[in-house]
Amino acid sequence: MASALSTGDPIQRLIRELSKLPGIGQKTATRLAFFVLRAPTEQAQSLARALVEVKERIRLCSVCMNLTEGDPCEMCSDPSRDDRLLCVVAHPPDLLSIERTSSFRGRYHVLHGVLSPLQGIGPDDLRLRELLSRVTPPTTIEEVILATSPNVEGEATALYLSKALKSCGVRVSRIASGLPIGGDLEYADGITIARALEVRRDM
């Protein structure tokens, strides 16, 4: 049905924009577009407002680099968290996965990616400079836990970070058993993540 529409047609434009989202192909984008068309006007407007608001109001926390509306974020502003522990994750969803376990009460740092030479992602493309500035003396941080996913890119990133952090005089550890090689932290269950944090190993 979409093929019968001109490229300037609002429906076709919507399909084209939806298909740019990760995991959304042409067929799924078409179904979503026509779902929006069939939905009540109020629902479509609410979706549009939510998209605009998240782009206008959400920013990076100047401390941990997580996505937040306020700066610093709630976790960085929480005085009850342990300033001695810093957990490094690749992406914001990884942080949320760990938080859901309620097994970690330290601080976080979000890299916003992992090293991937094949995709042209190097150290300068990640939030490494901010991480190093947080652990450079004087600092309250005593241990940095590397919680990148146990796949090729995650392991390469953890190895690079462990070498870069050793000169800062902090303990560097890596989340351990329970997470399968090649898996993604975002999709692991809470018990598995909690166990991986408990039995982390030094690097």
Average pLDDT for 80-87: 97
- Mean pLDDT score, 181-196: 69
Residue 89's pLDDT is: 98
- The pLDDT of residue 2: 46
pLDDT at position 181: 56
Q: Which residues lie below 8 Å from residue 185, measured CB to CB, with a gap of 6+?
A: 89, 90, 94, 97, 98, 147, 148, 149, 154, 179, 193
Report whether pLDDT(201) > 70: no
What is the band of 190 on the pLDDT scale with cuts at 50, 70, 90? confident
Is the C-alpha dihedral spanning 84, 88, 91, 97 positive or negative? negative
Q: Do domains 2-57 and 80-202 have the same CATH topology?
A: no
- Does domain 80-202 match CATH 3.40.630.10? no
Listed residue (116, 71, 111) closest to 87, CA to CA:
111
Task: Specify the higher pLDDT residue, 195 or 157.
Answer: 157
Overall average pLDDT of the 165-171 stretch: 91
At residue 93 the predicted structure's pLDDT band, cuts being 50, 70 and 90, is very high
The pLDDT score that the predictor gives to residue 185 is 72
| Tens digits of residue pLDDT in 103-150 | 999 999 999 999 999 999 999 999 999 999 999 989 999 999 999 988
Amino acid letter for position 203: M
Summarised one tens digit per residue, pLDDT across range 10-61 is: 999 999 999 999 999 999 999 999 999 999 999 999 999 999 999 999 999 9
pLDDT at site 4:
56
The span from the CA of 73 to the CA of 79, in Å, is: 12
3-state class (DSSP) for residue 59:
strand
| pTM (two decimals) | 0.77
Residue 1: is its pLDDT beyond 50?
Answer: no
Comparison of pLDDT for 23 and 186, the residue scoring more: 23
What is the residue-averaged pLDDT of the chain?
89
As its CATH architecture, domain 2-57 has: Orthogonal Bundle (1.10)
Domain regions of the chain by residue span: 2-57, 80-202
